[in-house]
C-alpha cells in the first residue's frame, strides 16, 4: 500500500485519479480550495483519505504539504495536478499573472519540496499534469502554453537530477489533450476524452514509472505534428 498525495483533487482529472488510487487500495492525501468537495471524497473512503484545504497561490504551501505528509504517515507518490487557464481575445495582465502563479510558482514550490523529500527518503515518484499545449506558444492562452512548457522542461530536469544523484526517483510528465472538464472551453474541440479514461491512463503511466505520457495516447501524434509544423503554418492555428 502506497501513500499518494495529489495537489488539486477536488474535481476533474485530479479527483478521478484519486479514485483510481483508492480503488487500488492505497492511502491518498488530496488538496484543493473547496473543502466541501474534499470532505465528500473523505466520507466515501474514511479510512483511506486525508485532506488539506489550501490555494497553491498562497504563502503556506510547504506547511500544508508537510501537514498532509504527517497525516498520511509518509509519502511515496506526489502528483501536481493544479492548473488554471483563461481564454481571452485580449491579453489580460491579471489573468496572465494568476495563471503563472498556479502553473509555475505553486508548481515549483511544491514539486521541488516533494523531490527533496524523496531524495532524503531514497525513493519516490513525482508526476505533474502539464499539457499538449506546452509544445508550442498559443496566442489564445499565452501564459498557459508557456507555463505548461515550463512544467514539462522542469520535470525532465528533475529526472536528470535524480539520475545524477543516483536516487530511485521516477518522474512522469503527463501531457493531456482535451479532457471533458470545465477547463476544456471553446469551439472546435476534438478527441475529448472522458475524465475517467484520462485518469486511468495517468494512473497506469505513473505506476509504470513512464517518463512522459500523452492522454489519451493519440495525442502523441498531434504533439509531434505541433513541434514540427513550420511557424508560418502554425501561427494561423495558434
Q: What is residue 10's predicted lDDT score, i.e. its pLDDT?
A: 93
Contact (CB, 8 A) for 57 and 71: no
| Euclidean distance between CA atoms 101 and 131, whole angstroms | 17
Q: What is residue 182's predicted lDDT score, i.e. its pLDDT?
A: 59
DSSP H helices, the chain, are 12-23, 35-44, 61-72, 93-100, 107-121, 142-164, 195-207, 219-228, 231-234
Q: What is residue 31's predicted lDDT score, i.e. its pLDDT?
A: 97
Measured torsion, CA atoms of residues 183, 53, 50, 27, in degrees rounded to the nearest 10: 30
Q: What is residue 183's predicted lDDT score, i.e. its pLDDT?
A: 56
Please give the model's pTM, rounded to 2 decimal places: 0.90
Which residues have C-beta within 8 Å of that of residue 213, sequence separation ≥ 6? 172, 173, 174, 175, 201, 202, 205
pLDDT tens sequence for the chain (238 residues): 999 999 999 989 999 999 999 999 999 999 999 999 999 999 999 999 999 999 999 999 999 999 999 999 999 999 999 887 777 778 889 888 889 999 999 999 999 999 999 999 999 999 999 988 878 888 888 998 999 999 999 999 999 999 999 999 999 999 987 665 655 555 556 556 788 998 999 999 999 999 999 987 777 777 777 787 788 787 877 6
Task: Given CATH 3.40.50.720, say whether it is the number of domain 3-234.
Answer: yes
C-beta neighbour count of 7 within 10 angstroms: 29
The domain segmentation of the chain, as residue ranges, is: 3-234
Largest CA distance in the chain: 55
Q: Phi first, then psi: give them for residue 183, nearest 5 degrees.
A: -75, -20
Q: What is residue 238's predicted lDDT score, i.e. its pLDDT?
A: 61
Amino acid at each position: 500500500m502506497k501513500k499518494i498525495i495529489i495537489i488539486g483533487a477536488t474535481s476533474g482529472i485530479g479527483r478521478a485519479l484519486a479514485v483510481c488510487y483508492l480503488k487500488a487500495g492505497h492511502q491518498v492525501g488530496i488538496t484543493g480550495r473547496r473543502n466541501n468537495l474534499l470532505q465528500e471524497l473523505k466520507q466515501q473512503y474514511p479510512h483511506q483519505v486525508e485532506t488539506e484545504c489550501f490555494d497553491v497561490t498562497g504563502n503556506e504551501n510547504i506547511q500544508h504539504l508537510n501537514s498532509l505528509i504527517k497525516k498520511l504517515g509518509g509519502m511515496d507518490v506526489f502528483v501536481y495536478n493544479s492548473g488554471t487557464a483563461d481564454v481571452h481575445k485580449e491579453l489580460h495582465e491579471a489573468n496572465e499573472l494568476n495563471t503563472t502563479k498556479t502553473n509555475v510558482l505553486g508548481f515549483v514550490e511544491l514539486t521541488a519540496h516533494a523531490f527533496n523529500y524523496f531524495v532524503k527518503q531514497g525513493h519516490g515518484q513525482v508526476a505533474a499534469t502539464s499539457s499538449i499545449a506546452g509544445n508550442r506558444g498559443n496566442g489564445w492562452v499565452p501564459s498557459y502554453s508557456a507555463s505548461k512548457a515550463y512544467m514539462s522542461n522542469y520535470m525532465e530536469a528533475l529526472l536528470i537530477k535524480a539520475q545524477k544523484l543516483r536516487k530511485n526517483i521516477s518522474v512522469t510528465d503527463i501531457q493531456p489533450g482535451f479532457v471533458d472538464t470545465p477547463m476544456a472551453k471553446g469551439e472546435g474541440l476534438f478527441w475529448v476524452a472522458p475524465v475517467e479514461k484520462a485518469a486511468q491512463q495517468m494512473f497506469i503511466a505513473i505506476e509504470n514509472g513512464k517518463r512522459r505520457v500523452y492522454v489519451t495516447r493519440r495525442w502523441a501524434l498531434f504533439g509531434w505534428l505541433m513541434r514540427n509544423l513550420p511557424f508560418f503554418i502554425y501561427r494561423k492555428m495558434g
